Amino acid sequence: MTLRPIKFAWQNFFRNIWLSLITIVIIISSLFLINILVVLGTLANQGLNFYKDKVDVSIFLKPEVTDQQVQNIKENLSKLSTVKGVEVKPKDQALEELKNEYQNNPILLKSLKELETNPLGEILIIKLNRLEDYSSVMSVLQTKEYQDVIETNLNKFSDIKEITDKLNNFAQKVYQIELIVSIIFCIIIFFLVFNTIRLTIYSHREEISIMRLVGASSWFIRGPFLIESIFYGFIAWLINLMILFPLSKMLQPYISNFLDHYQFNLMSYFLQNFLQIFGWQLLIIICISMLSSAFAMRKYLKI
């Protein structure tokens, strides 16, 4: 007896197969667009994390700074809670990298050859725990203790915070757009299922009248329509996954290039966060379908 509503729901689904397919296709399209925004938001966050991991502060020391002073500076900076680590690039290595970088500039190379000594000093590469710690590290480096040994004007790094703020704003805007679009498509899905169930009720009005006359229970009459609405959401959700996962695999090489081979796999991310992303989507879609079906039955199915 309890399986009959499911059987009738499945029959209703195939009796109105074109209407069912149109409903499913529109729900699939809505879910797909929402997931595209999820992908964009994920890539924005991963890109921001990649940028944060790559950014460090390179400090050029004056040539006359001794090796002992370099080690003292490194140890002092490493003790800061905002600093992950400090690397020292030798002046000879810095000179070779400069020559390689400007190998097509004969004037500069000739000038370097004419110099009897290496004009460069050691370079300190400071890696931050968080990019947000940049300002506090800069304030330390601007003290007189370090200004006497630093060659580089620290003002040249002032645009890093601006770049970071822009990236954070971009990630926030993607999230806001994702939320707004998701709400819009949820409303569309609500009215879509509402109208589909309403048309289904209308097409079965004679059968419903007969069931009323023979004393069928409210669940027996309402159940198939409620279960049918769940079918729409579940089938659309399942097909959406069947499209999204192969597409993620196809896009992975482009994502790797976009993130400069940063170790991020979109499919692995989806699998690791399956319940948080797709579990919630399924739950929301089913709730919306059931709610819209309940409203349609309340309005057009007086029992």
> Of 120, 150, 180, at which residue does a domain stop?
150
Q: Is the CA virtual torsion 296, 241, 251, 183 positive or negative?
A: positive
Tell me whether residue 157 is in a domain.
Answer: no
> How far apart (Å, rounded) are the C-alpha atoms in residues 57 and 262?
20
Mean pLDDT of all residues in 108-137: 73
Per-chain mean pLDDT for the chain: 77
Question: What is the Cβ-side half-sphere exposure of residue 51, based on CA atoms within 13 angstroms?
Answer: 18
Summarised one tens digit per residue, pLDDT across range 188-237 is 888 888 888 778 777 767 776 776 777 766 667 777 878 888 888 899 89
- What is the domain extent for residue 207? 4-51+164-300
Q: Taking a C-beta distance cutoff of 8 angstroms, is the pair 31, 186 a contact?
A: no
Mean pLDDT comparison of 12-21, 89-98, 195-204, 279-288, highest-scoring range: 279-288
d(CA 9, CA 200): 10
Q: Using the CB atoms, write b or e for 174-196: b if 16+ within 10 Å.
A: bbeebeeebeebeeebbebbbeb
Which of residues 122, 150, 178 is at a domain's end?
150
Question: Please, which residues have CB within 8 angstroms of residue 45's CB and are 6 or more apart in sequence?
Answer: 171
Whole-number Å distance between alpha carbons of 276 and 297: 31
Reply yes or no on whether the pLDDT at 149 is more than 50.
yes
CATH number assigned to the domain comprising residue 88? 3.30.70.3040
What's the confidence (pLDDT) of residue 171? 72
Residue 155: pLDDT over 70: no
C-alpha distances in angstroms, 199 versus 46, 72, 86, 196, 205?
45, 80, 69, 5, 10
pLDDT tens digit string along 56-111? 777 777 777 777 887 888 888 888 887 888 888 877 777 676 777 767 777 766 66
| One domain for residues 141 and 172 | no
Which residue has tokens 């170790």?
263
| C-alpha radius of gyration, the chain, whole number | 32
% of the chain with per-residue pLDDT over 90: 1
Task: Please tell me whether residues 117 and 185 are part of one structural domain.
Answer: no
- Does the pLDDT at position 34 exceed 80? yes
| Inside any domain, residue 155 | no
Residues 205 and 173 occupy one common structural domain: yes
Q: Rounded CA gap, 21 and 40, in Å?
A: 28
Task: Report residue 288's pLDDT band, with 50, 70 and 90 as the boundaries.
Answer: confident
Q: Are residues 291 and 203 in the same domain?
A: yes
The predicted model gives 114-132 an average pLDDT of 73
Beta strand 56-60 with 123-128 is: antiparallel
Per-residue pLDDT band for 1 (boundaries 50, 70, 90) equals: very low
Give me the number of domains the chain comprises: 2
Q: State the pLDDT confidence band at 238, using cuts at 50, 70 and 90.
A: very high
**Residue 57, domain member (yes or no):** no
Best-predicted range by mean pLDDT among 99-113, 158-172, 234-248? 234-248
Residue 116 lies in a domain: yes
Cα separation of 232 and 240, whole Å?
A: 12
> Residue 41: pLDDT above 70?
yes
Residues 160 and 51: their CA atoms lie apart, in Å, by: 11
Asked if residue 140 and residue 33 are part of one domain, the reply reads no
User: In angstroms, rounded to a whole number, what is the distance separating the alpha carbons of residues 24 and 290?
Assistant: 15
**Token pair listed for 189:** 């899905």
Instruction: Report which secondary-structure segment, H or E, holds 177.
Output: helix 159-203
